[in-house]
């Protein structure tokens, strides 16, 4: 995110390598925006096989990416502008405020400053930053720090090269989602909450035109919703996945074979309850840190965002209007068969639309 030489590009590939699915978006840059040329979404596990996070080794992803490139008729050797992302425990991002420093001193000073704020060992850290603003009265700088480990970045680069791609820009997931939101949504003043609900974590992002940037990972996601259904209804994993897609949080009565209706006994907190509780805690922390409680709306992205009943649930639990985000609203789509409003494309779209 530091100042770099701008590179002109006409087409871009946004690649979101998720643990449960991989999303790829191919955009063409136009004078007034972007055109969607193609996209693909592939599961990381074969149909009928239970998704188990611990079984997902890095070597699983490259063959899937290669298949997606073939399907989209993209020659990996001709890709000139590839933007992919990393996320999880070995990435960290934080907005800080510091005294003004000239460019030649800023980078070295921020490395030492980052050690105070980001939970990654200095010896393993790869740091990048973006100067957000310089305050006129105090001359202090508001800076967004992003860090990851050398090991994670090397592992990510290996996946890309094994798929025949030359690693390009690598962004942090939360930044790419915020980028997708800022370029595809009309926002007024205030703070907007984006919940990127992945397979086994929810990435929470607080974003606003003049608001402090905040992000954290909540360790519950779509996989946990499926496990809830298995526990509550005694279904197989595949049956629970189907039930989640068709019914989600919309409660139905369970009927025994003899026709008698039964009430589900749920003694544990549900995944939805866990996520809502952690969002509340994060919002309270944000109010103390940023002094801003002007929360306008919650936007849901990620594959699990489409689960029936979820927007209504969060609206009721958090008392903030909630809706599913459409990441393609500002894209020019020449082939009408490719019209999509799939919220799980938000990260890939944000990557492909990344400013030069």
The yes-or-no verdict on residue 25 having pLDDT over 50 is yes
Say what the pLDDT of residue 4 is: 45
The DSSP string of 10-68 is SEEEEEEE-SSEEEEEEEEEETTEEEEEEEEEEESS-TTSPP-GGG--GGGHHHHHHHH
Confidence of residue 253 (pLDDT cuts 50, 70, 90): low
CATH superfamily of 1-88+151-185+326-356: ATPase, nucleotide binding domain (3.30.420.40)
pLDDT single digits (tens) 69-82: 999 999 999 999 99
Whether the full predicted model's pTM is greater than 0.85, yes or no, is yes
CATH 3.30.420.40: which residues of the chain?
1-88+151-185+326-356, 186-324
Confidence of residue 267 (pLDDT cuts 50, 70, 90): low
* CATH architecture of the domain covering 186-324: 2-Layer Sandwich (3.30)
Chain position carrying tokens 């393609």: 328
Lowest mean pLDDT: which of 7-16, 108-117, 242-251? Answer: 108-117
Say what the pLDDT of residue 197 is: 96
pLDDT single digits (tens) 204-213: 999 988 888 9
Bridge partners for 172 per DSSP: 86
Alpha-carbon distance of 356 to 201, in angstroms, equals 29
Length of the chain: 356
């Amino acid at each position: 995110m530091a100042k770099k030489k701008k590179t002109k590009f006409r087409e871009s590939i946004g690649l979101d390598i998720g643990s449960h699915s991989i999303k790829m978006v191919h955009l063409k840059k136009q004078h007034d925006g972007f055109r969607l040329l193609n996209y693909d979404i592939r599961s990381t596990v074969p149909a009928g096989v239970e998704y188990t996070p611990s079984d997902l080794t890095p070597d699983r992803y490259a063959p899937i990416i290669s298949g997606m490139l073939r399907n989209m008729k993209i020659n990996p050797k001709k890709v000139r502008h590839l933007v992919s992302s990393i996320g999880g425990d070995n990435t960290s991002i934080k907005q800080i405020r510091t005294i003004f420093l000239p460019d030649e001193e800023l980078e070295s000073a921020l490395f030492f400053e980052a050690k105070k704020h980001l939970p990654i060992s200095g010896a393993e850290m790869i740091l990048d930053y973006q100067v957000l603003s310089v305050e006129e009265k105090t001359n202090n700088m508001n800076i967004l720090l992003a860090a990851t480990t050398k090991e994670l970045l090397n592992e990510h680069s290996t996946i890309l090269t094994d798929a025949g791609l030359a690693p390009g820009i690598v962004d942090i997931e939360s930044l790419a989602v915020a980028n997708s939101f800022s370029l595809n949504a009309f926002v007024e003043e205030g703070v907007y909450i984006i919940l990127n609900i992945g397979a086994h974590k929810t990435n929470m992002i607080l974003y606003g035109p003049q608001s402090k940037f905040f992000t954290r990972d909540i360790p519950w996601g779509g996989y946990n919703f499926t496990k809830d259904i298995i526990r509550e209804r005694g279904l197989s994993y595949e049956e629970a996945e189907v039930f989640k897609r068709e019914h989600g949080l919309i409660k139905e009565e369970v009927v025994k074979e003899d026709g008698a209706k039964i009430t589900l006994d749920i003694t544990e907190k549900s995944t939805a309850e866990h996520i809502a509780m952690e969002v509340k805690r994060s919002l309270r922390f944000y109010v103390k840190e940023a002094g801003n409680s002007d929360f306008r709306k919650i936007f849901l992205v990620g594959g699990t965002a489409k689960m029936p009943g979820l927007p209504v649930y969060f609206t009721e639990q958090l008392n903030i209007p909630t809706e599913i985000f459409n990441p393609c609203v500002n894209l020019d789509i020449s082939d009408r068969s490719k019209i999509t409003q799939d919220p799980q494309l938000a990260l890939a779209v944000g990557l492909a639309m990344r400013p030069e």
